[in-house]
Amino acid sequence: DQQVKQNSPSLSVQEGRISILNCDYTNSMFDYFLWYKKYPAEGPTFLISISSIKDKNEDGRFTVFLNKSAKHLSLHIVPSQPGDSAVYFCAASDTMNYGGSQGNLIFGKGTKLSVKP
Amino acid sequence: NAGVTQTPKFQVLKTGQSMTLQCAQDMNHNSMYWYRQDPGMGLRLIYYSASEGTTDKGEVPNGYNVSRSTTEDFPLRLLSAAPSQTSVYFCASSERLTVYGYTFGSGTRLTVV
């Protein structure tokens, strides 16, 4: 059973507009969430994260929103740039159990973002 | 540049062959991880090592083996390659066993025919 779901395999956005990438999770024990960005032929790189005690975290053009009651988080990129074109992975962890069988970082399937000039 | 180095970048194996994917980091990180990425499946944890001398199974360990005899190296061994092991393999490291601050290598694309 998939615990972290990214239901949109792809998203296309015009340069300068907002990109919104969505992620849903099922495990109510998850208390830390991260977004990773991956370019072709490269490894994922950390983008932004949020703890479950917050509902928003901002870093420049990137903002992550967390709705715990809906078990939903989203990544907003404003304004979108062509260099943002990549695959974005949502990941989650139950940090109280991290390192045990239940606590490792769980990744979604990814969403491929294309930002068109 | 400091980071995580994976070799080889590409490999083709025949079914039943064995091989070792190499991973080395020069950041003096305690913890290291092996993930595989399959189309439509995201990243799945194969094995991890909290520190030198320790290893633990992740979500999909069958058909693989690891060891952690040094802080820097975390090789992943395919014991008898199967087509189901065709994937892109990523090694990562972090300062300690934590969700924060993973540094990933650039990956090894493995094809088993």
At residue B70, the pLDDT reads: 97
Q: Check whether B94 has a pLDDT greater than 90.
A: no
Domain B4-112: give its CATH architecture.
Sandwich (2.60)
Ranges of chain A whose pLDDT falls below 70: 96-103
| First-last CA distance in chain A | 38
Mean of the per-residue pLDDT values for chain B?
92
Provide the domain count of chain A.
1
Greater confidence (A2 vs B112) lies with B112
B8 Cβ under 8 Å from any chain A Cβ: no
Question: How many angstroms away from the CA of B1 is the closest CA of chain A?
Answer: 15
Tell me the CA distances in angstroms from A10 to A1, A3, A54, one per residue in order: 22, 20, 27
Range of the domain at A45: 4-116
- The predicted-structure confidence for B1-31, as pLDDT tens digits, reads as follows 679 999 999 999 999 999 999 999 999 998 8
A39 Cβ under 8 Å from any chain B Cβ: no
Q: Please answer yes or no on whether A105 and B45 come within 8 Å at the CB atom.
A: yes
Among B99, B104, B108, B109, the strongest candidate for a mutation testing the A interface, having the largest count of A CBs within 10 A, is: B99
At residue A102, the pLDDT reads: 44
Distance CA A38, CA A73 (A): 19
Angle at A108 between CA A81 and CA B43, to 5 degrees: 100
Average pLDDT over residues B81-91: 96
A23: domain CATH number is 2.60.40.10
Average pLDDT over residues B51-75: 95
At residue B1, the pLDDT reads: 63
Domain ranges of chain B: 4-112
B90 Cβ under 8 Å from any chain A Cβ: yes
A41: left (phi over 0), alpha (psi -120 to 50) or beta: left
Q: Please answer yes or no on whether B102 and A32 come within 8 Å at the CB atom.
A: no
Distance CA B11, CA B37 (A): 15
Q: Please answer yes or no on whether B100 and A89 come within 8 Å at the CB atom.
A: no
- Amino acid (1-letter code) at residue B56: D
At residue B99, the pLDDT reads: 67
